């Protein structure tokens, strides 16, 4: 699948990135679907509100919760991280993956680090993020919904996988510039409702950017991850599985490219 790249005034943004006084470390994760047994634990832990007394009504609400949690399982703590791309304004590009191996050295100009397990991937990922965070005194993590999702998810999955969390990944250890938080400065509608979730695509469009997310969505990733393993169970050499893996990794790298451009556009003088 071909994914179009983010259209930006690239020469201006490249100059601004290079001239930034801070080391900007962009990180973006992709997740698979949570395992059925983990989802069942969430459903088993559900409790009806105090105002619900009728058994039939309680069961309807429980079923609704089950349907919602299944649909949004990739956003729960139980969902595994399958890959994470990182990019800096100093030229560093890597993508870490525990998807079925492509046995490639790079993808889309990003060095590809492949591991057999999520735990091994996280171990290498957090080591690199910590290393980058302490390369320069002035540094910031950058991303879209980074504060409420990506960083939180990395911490949670490290805990679940027995991976020690390094100092830079502790809450508030490193300043964070979150493009979702700052999107409200570019839309009257968003400024009126600061609690509204703003996708990267929406934020980019508010700022006049075109985005690759029009042709592929993060919501598709968990479905494609499941499909990859279904295909490999039928044929270990499946070409379709390889192509889907490449699509997910390419999408992940284009996420961080776009997020860095958007952050620099929003606040180059503050970064």
What is the pLDDT tens value at each position of the chain, 271 positions in all?
444 444 444 445 554 555 557 899 999 999 998 888 877 887 788 787 778 777 788 788 888 887 777 767 788 899 999 999 999 999 999 999 999 999 988 998 999 999 999 999 999 999 999 999 999 888 999 999 999 999 999 999 999 999 999 999 999 999 999 999 998 888 887 777 766 788 888 888 888 877 655 678 888 999 999 999 999 999 999 999 999 999 999 999 999 999 999 998 887 666 6
One domain for residues 182 and 129: yes
Instruction: Identify the domain boundary among 79, 110, 134.
Output: 79
Residue 238: give its domain's CATH number: 3.30.420.10
One domain for residues 39 and 138: no
One domain for residues 225 and 187: yes
b/e per residue, 83-114, with b = 16+ CB within 10 A? Answer: bbbbbbbeebbbbbbbbbeeeeeebbebebbb
The two three-digit tokens of residue 239, written as one number: 């070409």
Kindly state whether residue 3 falls inside one of the protein's structural domains.
no
- CA torsion angle 207 145 267 184 (round to 10): 50
One domain for residues 188 and 204: yes
One domain for residues 149 and 233: yes
One domain for residues 27 and 56: no
Q: Which domain holds residue 201?
A: 10-32+80-270
Spatial contact of 242 and 102, defined as CB atoms under 8 Å apart: yes
DSSP 95: E
Which residue's structure tokens are 């968003």?
190
One domain for residues 68 and 110: no
One domain for residues 205 and 219: yes
| Residue among 18, 25, 169 at smallest CA distance from 85 | 25
One domain for residues 46 and 150: no
Kindly state whether residue 185 falls inside one of the protein's structural domains.
yes
Instruction: Identify the domain boundary among 62, 79, 96.
Output: 79
The two three-digit tokens of residue 12, written as one number: 């201006």
**Residue 174: what are its φ and ψ, rounded to 5°?**
-125, 135
One domain for residues 72 and 120: no
């Amino acid at each position: 699948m071909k994914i179009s790249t983010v259209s930006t005034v690239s020469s201006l943004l490249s100059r601004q990135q290079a001239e930034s006084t801070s080391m900007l470390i962009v990180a973006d994760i992709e997740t698979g679907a949570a395992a059925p047994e983990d989802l069942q634990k969430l459903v088993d832990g559900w409790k009806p509100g105090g105002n619900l007394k009728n058994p039939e009504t309680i069961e309807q609400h429980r079923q609704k919760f089950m349907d919602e949690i299944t649909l949004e399982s990739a956003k729960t703590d139980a969902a595994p991280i399958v890959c994470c791309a990182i990019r800096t304004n100093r030229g560093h590009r890597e993508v870490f993956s525990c998807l079925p191996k492509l046995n490639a050295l790079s993808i889309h100009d990003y060095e590809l680090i492949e591991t057999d397990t999520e735990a091994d991937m996280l171990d290498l990922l957090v080591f690199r993020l910590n290393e980058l965070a302490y390369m320069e005194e002035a540094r910031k993590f950058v991303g879209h919904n980074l504060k409420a999702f990506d960083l939180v998810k990395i911490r949670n999955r490290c805990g679940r996988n027995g991976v020690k969390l390094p100092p830079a990944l502790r809450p508030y250890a490193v300043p964070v510039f979150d493009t979702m938080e700052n999107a409200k400065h570019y839309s009257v509608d968003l400024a009126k409702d600061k609690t509204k979730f703003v996708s990267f695509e929406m934020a980019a469009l508010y700022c006049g950017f075109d985005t690759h997310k029009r042709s592929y969505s993060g919501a598709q990733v968990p479905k494609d991850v499941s499909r990859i393993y279904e295909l490999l169970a039928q044929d270990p050499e499946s070409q379709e599985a390889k192509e889907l893996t490449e699509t997910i990794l390419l999408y992940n790298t284009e996420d961080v490219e776009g997020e860095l451009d958007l952050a620099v556009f929003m606040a180059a003088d503050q970064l």
